[in-house]
């Protein structure tokens, strides 16, 4: 049994009371420096006092232990403080991705039975017209003002904690900590119930896997509302006493590159698609300056992995999904094996089913899907194994190799042949003329939709040329039954989740 992450965090706060903890990061208009006029900055001691202040707001509003409290906003210091206040108040956090439509946000808030909501003021202007019958209190992430409900008269932020000692009251490790919605890559998103034990295991695993570095700077680009940003970045880095910059600008490759050059973080966590684009447009130099680079969220292309390793990037590969708090295996760069996602983390078992499916069991596995016992039973079997839906294999030393998705993404042709579209997509995407692609079946034939790497791309002669290039270079490397019948060219980016996973269900 590991230590509760709130106990570890309290110890870190006490050891780093006057050190910087959370800073909102925005670039100036010329993109050459940080705009310090926007956002908040807190030391560890100030962060703790702000957490206590928010807990006092909860009490004044009449919120109770176990109440569901939603958070919907861009990454910010106040997003982090709101979560820690909910956890220390023994509430249940409901994390909502702010980039969704107001209708989807309202549905998730209502479905989760949230009694209170933290929200960005700008987002509330659109969201307040939605029906939120169960939400009694709406609190601004900008300044903690109450946008809906009774306005408490509280201002204790200037009070001094004389003993400079942090302490969190918390429940059991098995208690429900969060409801986090899946990305929805295969359809309607589900509310994943995660425990404090899951988060504590992740904090322990990451804090003992990262290479120790005197550099305290760290930047969070991934959304905190998703598990990769929350359990792989926010909680462990804060527990390590790092200075976390919350990136709040538009996430273009240029802005990410500029931010890395300004802050010079000791490591970075990102999805493969962003890392590939960064290397293509800016080179891998900024990545090789890091103590380590953690990649997860989706499979890394073997060609990109080789480029990173050849560029002396100290690579860490992680594998998991929302239902396990984002992490089941980890491959630190000192133990990295090419094309592997590493070995199982502490208190986690990984096995392969007879059909090749990757199975996971352990203390990081979700408690279930909120208000959906049928889906829970389909995902977690009677023996406690979570069925990931991914296929793969383990080598003799316990290293896991992921080979793609199983049946839900598999294409079954009229002749009975089973096609894994990701295998063909990797071949198409390897062409320099192609940015991204998706393979699907239409009228029993395989068709690819491809996005050119150079846009605009509207002339019919260019479209025809690219179609011929793809067919000529890809089909000869495929068995006859899995060759492409046609290729459609589009200049519209393919729909993806925040983890950059293709939303395949939209193209059926």
Measure the CA–CA gap between 83 and 102, rounded to whole angstroms.
21
Residue 303 has pLDDT above 60, yes or no: yes
With tokens 């910059």, the residue in question is 245
120-124, 179-183, 325-329, 348-352: least confidently modelled range: 179-183
Q: What is the mean pLDDT of residues 457-482?
A: 85
94-98, 100-104, 381-385: least confidently modelled range: 100-104
pLDDT of the residue at 395: 96
Phi then psi for 68, rounded to 5 degrees?
-90, 130
Q: pLDDT-derived band of residue 95, with 50, 70 and 90 as boundaries?
A: very high
pLDDT of the residue at 356: 94
Q: What is the DSSP string of 357-385?
A: EEEEEETTS-SEETT-HHHHHHHB-TTS-
With tokens 């190799």, the residue in question is 401
Q: pLDDT-derived band of residue 178, with 50, 70 and 90 as boundaries?
A: very high
Residue 65 has pLDDT above 80, yes or no: yes
pLDDT of the residue at 494: 93
* CA distances for 14 relative to 162, 166, 313, 472, angstroms: 12, 6, 34, 63
Residue 415 has pLDDT above 90, yes or no: no
pLDDT of the residue at 428: 95
With tokens 């959304």, the residue in question is 223
Phi then psi for 428, rounded to 5 degrees?
-65, -45
Which position has the higher pLDDT, 488 or 30? Answer: 488
* Residues 316, 20, 70, 91, CA torsion sign: positive
With tokens 């069925």, the residue in question is 387
Count of C-beta atoms within a 10 Å radius of residue 361:
20
User: Mean pLDDT: which of 69-78, 99-108, 460-469, 480-489 is highest?
Assistant: 69-78
pLDDT tens, residue by residue, 245-282:
999 888 899 999 999 999 999 999 999 989 999 999 99
Q: What is the mean pLDDT of residues 121-145?
A: 94
Q: What is the mean pLDDT of residues 443-470?
A: 85
- Asked if 301 and 402 touch (Cβ cutoff 8 Å), the reply is no
pTM: 0.84
Which position has the higher pLDDT, 499 or 79? Answer: 79
Which position has the higher pLDDT, 475 or 412? Answer: 475
Q: pLDDT-derived band of residue 422, with 50, 70 and 90 as boundaries?
A: confident
pLDDT tens, residue by residue, 339-362:
999 999 989 999 999 999 999 999
393 contacts: CB under 8 Å, gap ≥ 6 = 352, 356, 400, 401, 403
Measure the CA–CA gap between 303 and 186, rounded to whole angstroms.
27
pLDDT of the residue at 265: 97
**Residue 130 token pair:** 């939605």
Q: What is the mean pLDDT of residues 301-308?
A: 92
Measure the CA–CA gap between 228 and 499, rounded to whole angstroms.
8
- Asked if 149 and 59 touch (Cβ cutoff 8 Å), the reply is no
pLDDT tens, residue by residue, 195-233:
999 999 999 988 777 777 888 999 999 999 989 999 999
pLDDT of the residue at 164: 86
With tokens 């049928």, the residue in question is 374
**Residue 398 token pair:** 């316990």
Which position has the higher pLDDT, 311 or 503? Answer: 311
Q: What are the start-end ranges of the E strands in 212-289? A: 217-220, 243-247, 267-270
C-alpha 257: how far from chain center: 19
Measure the CA–CA gap between 225 and 337, rounded to whole angstroms.
30
- Asked if 238 and 21 touch (Cβ cutoff 8 Å), the reply is yes
pLDDT tens, residue by residue, 314-324:
999 999 999 99
pLDDT of the residue at 153: 65
Phi then psi for 392, rounded to 5 degrees?
180, -170
* CA distances for 494 relative to 129, 424, 452, 470, angstroms: 30, 16, 11, 18
Measure the CA–CA gap between 205 and 326, rounded to whole angstroms.
12
- Asked if 92 and 178 touch (Cβ cutoff 8 Å), the reply is yes
* CA distances for 159 relative to 25, 48, 207, 481, angstroms: 27, 12, 32, 72
**Residue 120 token pair:** 């960005």
pLDDT of the residue at 325: 94
- Asked if 475 and 483 touch (Cβ cutoff 8 Å), the reply is yes
Q: Give 239-268 as a 3 state SS string.
A: HCCCEEEEECCCCCHHHHHHHHHHHCCCEE
Q: What is the overall mean pLDDT for the chain?
A: 91
């Amino acid at each position: 049994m590991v230590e509760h992450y709130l106990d570890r965090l309290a110890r870190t706060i006490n050891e780093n009371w006057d050190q910087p903890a959370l800073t909102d990061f925005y670039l100036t208009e010329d993109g050459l420096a940080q705009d310090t006029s926007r956002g908040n900055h807190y030391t560890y001691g100030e962060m703790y006092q702000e957490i206590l202040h928010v807990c006092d707001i909860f009490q004044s509003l009449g919120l109770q232990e176990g109440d569901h409290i939603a958070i919907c906003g861009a990454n910010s210091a106040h997003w982090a403080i709101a979560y820690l206040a909910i956890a220390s108040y023994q509430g249940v956090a409901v994390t909502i991705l702010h980039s969704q439509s107001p209708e989807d946000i309202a549905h998730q808030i209502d479905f989760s039975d949230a009694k209170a909501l933290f929200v960005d003021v700008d987002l509330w202007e659109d969201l307040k017209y939605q029906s939120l019958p169960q939400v009694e209190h709406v609190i601004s992430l900008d300044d903690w003002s109450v946008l809906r409900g009774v306005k408490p008269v509280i201002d204790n932020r200037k009070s001094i904690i004389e003993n400079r000692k942090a302490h969190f009251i918390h429940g059991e490790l098995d208690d429900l900590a969060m409801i986090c919605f899946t990305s929805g890559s295969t359809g309607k998103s589900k509310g994943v119930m995660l425990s404090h034990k899951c988060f504590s295991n992740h904090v322990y695993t990451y804090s003992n896997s990262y290479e120790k570095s005197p550099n305290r700077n760290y930047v969070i680009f991934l959304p905190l509302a998703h598990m990769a940003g929350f359990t792989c970045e926010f909680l462990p880095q804060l527990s390590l006493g790092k200075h976390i910059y919350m990136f709040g600008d538009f996430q273009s490759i240029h802005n990410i590159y500029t931010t890395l050059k300004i802050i010079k973080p000791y490591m970075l966590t990102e999805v493969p698609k962003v890392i590939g684009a960064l290397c293509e447009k800016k080179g891998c130099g900024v990545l090789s300056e890091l103590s380590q680079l953690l990649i997860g969220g989706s499979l890394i292309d073997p060609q990109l992995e080789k480029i990173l390793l050849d560029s002396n990037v100290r690579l860490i590969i992680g594998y998991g999904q929302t239902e396990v708090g984002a992490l089941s295996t980890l491959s630190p760069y000192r133990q990295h094996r090419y094309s592997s996602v590493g070995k199982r983390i502490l208190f986690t078992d990984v096995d392969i089913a007879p059909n090749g499916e990757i199975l996971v069991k352990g203390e990081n596995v979700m408690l279930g899907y909120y208000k959906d016992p049928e889906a829970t039973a389909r995902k977690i079997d009677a023996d406690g194994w979570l069925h990931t839906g991914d296929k793969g294999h383990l080598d003799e030393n316990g290293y896991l190799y992921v080979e793609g998705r199983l049946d839900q993404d598999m294409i079954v042709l009229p002749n009975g042949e089973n096609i894994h579209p990701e295998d063909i997509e990797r071949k198409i995407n390897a062409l320099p003329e192609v940015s991204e692609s998706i393979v699907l079946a239409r009228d029993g034939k395989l068709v690819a939709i491809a996005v050119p790497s150079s846009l605009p791309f509207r002339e019919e002669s260019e479209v025809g040329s690219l179609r011929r290039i793809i067919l000529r270079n890809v089909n000869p490397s495929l068995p006859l039954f899995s060759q492409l019948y046609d290729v459609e060219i589009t200049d519209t980016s393919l729909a993806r989740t925040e983890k950059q996973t293709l939303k395949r269900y939209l193209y059926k």
